[in-house]
Chains A and B, each alone.
Chain A
Amino acid sequence: MVEVQHLSKTFGADTVVLKDINLHVKKNEVVAILGPSGTGKSTLLRCLNYLCEPTSGIIRVGNVTVDASKHTRREVRNLRRQSAMVFQNYNLFKNKTAKQNVMEALLTVQKKSRSEAEEIALKLLDKVGMLDRKDFYPSKMSGGQQQRVGIARAMAVNSDVLLFDEPTSALDPELVGEVLNTIKTLAEENATMILVTHEVRFARNVASRVIFMEDGQIAADGTPEEIIDHPDNPRLQRFLNFITN
């Protein structure tokens, strides 16, 4: 489903953020990316749909392949349409209601009719438990509610892969649960997801695979049991100790 080959990203002249990343994510796999701050987790995720342009490497999502060394805008646009991003700070349109936020992509990108878009939006809002808030503007919703609308909006574009960039890090602790529950529901429906998160326990319960990143590289890659329960990488052990304690 997702194939990354020799992906590198350098900011400026000498700030190397990603170093020769190779990754393969299968269909219906839920991959959690863990790691300390500044190790390139979010950058990797953003490179996957070219929100952030890689310096080199090849990315394939679904049947679209983009080579950083020779790509066209059309290829990037097609690649972007294979995935949908859930942002850390929700990024909802402030002037639109929950329903309108979800409908926007359906109307403008997928060019669905208003009635069809509305029907899909209501179904997705129901799925994330926000149907009763469908006419609420973001300013009248809690962070958790906004994030759930953000997830519904990402699902609306009906892409192959859902990308979550620290979806709970901007939330108050008491609101984290509702978002994680929503993501868990999606995982149980066999959606292909890649999540950057600091929620180790959540990753342990939901992910089918966990990747630990360090210094712009994948330092460990395995099942949740291998990575979280029995870490053999000393840096990973220190990280898990720090997070869990």
Chain B
Amino acid sequence: MCRANVLSVARNNLQRRSVRSWIMIFFVFVLAVALFLGTVLASSMRAGLDKTVNRLGADVMVVPKEYERDMADALFLGEMCDFTFDRDWIAPITQIDGIAAVSPQLYMESLAASCCSAQTQLIAFDPDTDFIITSWLADDDIPMPKRGEMIIGHDIEPETPGEIDFFDQPYKVVGQLEKTGTNYDVCVFMTYETAQDIMSSDKWYEVFRENPDASQLISSLTIRTEEGVDPKDVARTINFHLADNCPIAAYTTNGIMSGAMDTVVSMTGYSTVLLVMIGLLVVAALVCIFTITINERAREFGILAALGIHGKTLSGIVLSEGLLIGATGGVLGSAFSVAILLIFGNSFATVMELPKLNKEPLYLLIVGLICVALSVLISLAASLYAAGKVNRHHLDTLIRGEEL
């Protein structure tokens, strides 16, 4: 029998037992959905982390003690922060060996109120010392903002083009950064002078009951180490020079992100274990169904063999059923996962605190193809036992319909 005929017989067999077939397809579907979503979520999380670390561009960060976790959450998860410490700490740190550049940043939160265009993280930087945001502006060909001007992240959409409001004051938007796939896409950047204007505003006072001097405040001190110097050594040296009771501490960027990285690693591990278990369960379920089915159909296979069909062809029919079940389940599972990601992707990202889900068509296509291939492989593996039994057993046993 030619291959097309084998597939056609297999398809007819599946259609004939539609309930059984759909149950088997459902098992593979569940596996494909788990594989697809698990892969996309885990890789999006890892990609978000990597991009954030790369985008950050600093080797060491000085933040208030015990706020390193908040800093990581702000960088990776987009949680807003507004911790500060005094600018006077810059001088002693700058003198430490191995440091190539030091630049302060100040974080402010805008409000989810009519006074602000969006509730977002406002980041002030010092154009004279900055080595991070300045390079982004240069890359995206955006001019350095002056007092009263702002640069917005890619995902910020001002109601009025070219203008954005914070604390009842309008600010001119002089540039929008390219998409980065990190939480910087929803941040707004300005110089310390503009930050001073915001903190001096009446609305700021109305909300926070104070008008602090922005020029004296730092949320984080970003440090670039000299070439060949280990950031860990620099962080250790800074912490050594700082008094025990000082309110700040230095952390390597990787150290700050290590919590999130550990989470990603452990999540990936759990997800892999879960996927392997689901895979094994699906294989076990399919093996059971295939075995029960071929026992039920032993006589049918026997008659086909008695009519002169090759034993390998009988195995081929069972394997083709496995192939069709795997392919159908895999394609449906992948398609369903893509639909879920496209429709509920943002909600997923919010619930799972992901900076961004990778929804690029080519990436989804590749993951989909891999899921379909794995689904087919697993389904074929599950049908192998039954296919072998059909081929191995003697015709008389088959025709008598005895259990294989």
Contact = CB atoms under 8 A, between A and B. Distances in A.
Interface of A: 46, 49-53, 73, 77, 80-81, 84-85, 87, 91, 93, 95, 104-105, 107-109, 111, 153, 157
B300 A93 contact: yes
B308 interface: yes
B199 interface: no
B395 A108 contact: no
B24 to A, nearest CB: 18
Contacts of A107: 5
A91 B1 contact: no
Contact of A50 (B9, B303, B310, B395): B395
A51 B306 contact: yes
Interface in B379-404: 394-396, 399
Interface residues of B, number: 21
Given A46-B396, A53-B394, A77 B310 contact: yes
A59 to B, nearest CB: 15
Contacts of A85: 306
Nearest to B16: A95
A104 B307 contact: yes
B399 A51 contact: yes
B16 A52 contact: no
Given A93-B300, A107-B5, A108-B5, A80 B308 contact: yes
Contact of B396 (A51, A109, A153): A51
B311 A73 contact: yes
A105 B300 contact: no
Contact of A91 (B5, B16, B299, B311): B299
20 contacts: A51-B306, A51-B396, A51-B399, A53-B394, A53-B396, A80-B308, A81-B308, A87-B399, A91-B302, A91-B399, A93-B300, A93-B303, A104-B304, A105-B308, A107-B5, A108-B1, A109-B1, A109-B308, A111-B5, A157-B308
B113 interface: no
A55 to B, nearest CB: 13
Which of A46, A109, A153 counts the most chain B CB atoms within 10 A? A109
A81 B304 CA distance: 12
A47 B394 CA distance: 12
A80 B306 contact: yes
Given A52-B396, A91-B399, A95-B16, A108 B307 contact: yes
Contacts of B309: 108-109
A108 B310 contact: no
4 smallest A-B Cβ distances: which pairs? A109-B308, A105-B307, A52-B396, A81-B308
Contacts of A91: 299, 302-303, 399
A1 B230 CA distance: 92
B2 interface: yes
Contacts of B305: 80
Contacts of B303: 91, 93
Given A84-B307, A153-B307, 13 more contacts: A49-B306, A51-B396, A52-B396, A53-B394, A77-B308, A80-B308, A81-B308, A91-B399, A93-B303, A108-B5, A108-B307, A108-B309, A157-B308
A53 B311 CA distance: 15
Interface in B332-385: none
A240 to B, nearest CB: 30
A109 B310 CA distance: 9
Contacts of B311: 73
A108 B306 contact: no
A51 B5 CA distance: 24
A41 to B, nearest CB: 15
A222 B396 CA distance: 30
Which of A50, A81, A104, A108 counts the most chain B CB atoms within 10 A? A108
B395 A51 contact: yes
B369 to A, nearest CB: 33
Interface in B277-317: 299-300, 302-311
Contacts of B5: 107-108, 111
Contacts of A49: 306
B2 A111 contact: yes
Nearest to B2: A111
A91 B304 CA distance: 10
A6 to B, nearest CB: 21
Contacts of A73: 311
Contacts of A87: 399
A197 to B, nearest CB: 19
A84 B303 CA distance: 11
A102 to B, nearest CB: 11
Nearest to A46: B396
Contacts of B1: 108-109, 111
Contacts of B394: 52-53
Contacts of B302: 91
B89 to A, nearest CB: 82
Contacts of B2: 111
